[in-house]
Amino acid sequence: MSLSRRALLAAVPAVAVAGCAAQSPLRVAVVWSGAELRRFLRVVDAYMARYQRPVSVYSAGDNISALLRGPAQDVIPDVAVIPRLGLLFDPVVRPRVRPMTGGHAQPEFWRRLVTPYGSREELGAWFKIAHKSLVWHRAGEQEPPADLAAWQPPRGGLAIGAADGWVLSDWFENVLLAYAPEVYGGLFPPAEQGNPAWWGVAKVTEALTLLATLWREAFTRDQGRRALTMQFHDSVLDVFTYRTADLLAAPDFALPVIELYGGRGIAAHFRFPAHGDNPAPLVVGGDVAVAMKRGGQDALTFVNWLTRPRALGEHDALTEWVGEGGFLTPYSVPSHPLLRGPSADLTGAANRHYDLSDRLIGRLEGGDGRGLWRVLTELFTDVTAGTTAPATAAQAARDKIVADAGESGR
């Protein structure tokens, strides 16, 4: 998962193994840019060295959905590493995916997520997973709140990169899962299309009101306006470099940025608070490697190699990536002490729920300025930079979601 997915579709120069020039490269589309993309290219270098097969990697950013759905077959990649599970079950994309064969066994929770309901065919393999229910702060300066309803960060104490819609959707998902786990689960029962009727229940409005109230109390109008222009990366700096805020709700992959700009040992985290007698929310996400049909057996070979569990003591570019933090897999225990607990949650906790916005397709599908992300951005704007009462803004947001869900189901 990238810190910013605003990159336009742009080719990254392929790295080819000498002696393979006559072979057409395996085309791999990813969403990452910057440091994450450079890390991935090092992993791919090892594949090319072993299989003597040239590979061309390019970043499609947020355009990866349009790329995989596009009518032009010649631009569809051989392999895609996708950040949103909903794309896997998109009615246009799914028929273009080659089901996995000849690979390793995936942990049951993660295997079910990539397996169509009523089928035994796995459509992809997990490359990277993420814990999205962490609240970061400077070590020794915060105590975890006892309950979500009682949690109120001091005004100016919360950093939110509201210019990135996924940041706001992570907030909403944690609040909804904490407040009404039966609603969260009902939206996506064991069927990939989900049950949008759950959006209409009163508890969605109540969860949105709880979230809107928390946001309203945490920001002045000027701070709300500033947050709307701030990306995720900048919100990390507000807590750990500039110290103008105290708390940051962010996934595990915030850690490398925290330590790059704040230093090692500066950070601590606690779990997003529970509500009442409900369990603490645990929202998870991840990137799935998918072989497209056009890629043939070479695409399957690449995906199986890329996502395979590493043997105990094996060292390569991927284990180095895991070792530096900000990269979790279903098969490895990170060496960084701040990530061992989150990693154990991802691989063993019973109450895991996949990122809701990353499962949505149709009019609610995420993307900056679109779908659920747009609705939540408008909610944040109304209650922080504007003067709308939280309950009124929450009702308006719920109405927009219900309308978009209804359009998606037609």
Residue 354 included in any domain = no
Let me know the angle formed at the C-alpha of 85 by 7 and 45, rounded to the nearest 5 degrees. Answer: 55
Residue from 40, 42, 68, 45 nearest 55 by CA: 45
Q: Which of 203, 196, 176 is nearest to 404 (CA)?
A: 196
Nearest CA to 345 out of 62, 107, 122 is that of 107
267-271 and 283-291 strand pairing: unpaired
Using the predicted structure, report yes or no on whether residue 362 has a pLDDT greater than 80: yes
Do 159 and 263 lie in a common domain?
Answer: yes
Same domain, 321 and 343: yes
Give the percent of the chain with pLDDT over 70.
93
Asked if 204 and 398 touch (Cβ cutoff 8 Å), the reply is: yes
| Residue 381, domain extent | 134-281+360-408
**Which one of 310, 326, 348 terminates a domain?**
348
Is residue 5 domain-resident? no
Q: Are residues 111 and 163 in the same domain?
A: no
Q: For residues 115 and 123, is the Cβ–Cβ distance under 8 A? A: yes
| In a domain? residue 2 | no
- The stretch 92-99 carries a mean pLDDT of 96
Distance, in Å, from the CA atom of 256 to the CA atom of 164, rounded to the nearest integer, reads 19
Cα gap 372→169, rounded to integer Å: 7
108 and 52 within one domain: yes
**pLDDT tens figures, 279-338:** 999 999 999 999 999 999 999 999 999 999 988 888 999 999 988 888 999 998 898 999
| CATH value at residue 315 | 3.40.190.10
Residues 116 and 15 in one domain: yes
Q: Which pLDDT band holds residue 6 (cuts at 50, 70, 90)?
A: very low
Band of the pLDDT at 3, cuts 50, 70, 90? very low
Which residue, of 325, 348, 371, is where some domain finishes? 348
Residues 6+ positions from 170 with CB-CB distance below 8 Å: 132, 249, 250, 251, 283, 355
The pLDDT of residue 309 is: 94
Could you tell me where the DSSP H helices lie in 90-180? 108-113, 165-179
273, part of any domain: yes
Residue-level pLDDT at 16:
36
User: What pLDDT was estimated at residue 191?
Assistant: 58
Q: Are 371 and 385 in contact (CB under 8 A)?
A: no
> Mean pLDDT throughout 4-10?
34
Does 234 reside within a domain? yes
Same domain, 119 and 49: yes
pLDDT band of residue 96 (cuts 50, 70, 90) is very high
Q: Answer whether 0.85 is exceeded by the pTM.
A: yes
Q: Which of 377, 368, 396, 386 is nearest to 219 (CA)?
A: 386
Whether 119 and 252 share a structural domain: no
State the pLDDT at residue 302.
97
User: Helix, strand or coil for residue 66?
Assistant: helix
Cα 25 from chain centroid (whole Å): 29
Interval 224-241 mean pLDDT: 97
Tokens in use for 305?
Answer: 């190699």
End-to-end CA distance of the chain: 31
Weakest mean pLDDT among 19-33, 110-124, 303-317, 344-358: 19-33
Same domain, 157 and 291: no
In a domain, 1, yes or no: no
Residue 306 contacts residue 43 (beta carbons within 8 Å): yes
How many beta carbons lie within 10 A of that of residue 147, not counting itself?
Answer: 11
| Helices marked H in 133-180 | 165-179
Q: Do 63 and 168 belong to one domain? A: no
Average per-residue pLDDT for the chain: 91
Q: Which residues pair with 11 in a beta bridge?
A: 58
* Predicted confidence (pLDDT) per residue in 156-174, tens digit: 999 999 999 999 999 999 9
Q: Is pLDDT at 9 greater than 50 in this prediction? A: no
370 and 324 within one domain: no
E-strand ranges in 199-327 read 247-249, 267-271, 283-291
In a domain, 355, yes or no: no
Domain count, the chain: 2
DSSP state of 278: S
* Residue 151 sits in the same domain as residue 252: yes
Residue 3 covered by a domain: no
Q: Tell me, yes or no, whether 309 and 227 share the same domain.
A: no
User: What is the distance between the alpha carbons of residues 374 and 364, in angstroms, rounded to a whole number?
Assistant: 9
Q: What is the pLDDT of residue 391?
A: 98
* Mean pLDDT for the stretch of residues 54-78: 91
| Sheet with strand 267-271: strands edge to edge | 158-159, 247-249, 134-138, 267-271
Averaged pLDDT for residues 11-32: 66
| DSSP 8-state assignment for residue 385 | I
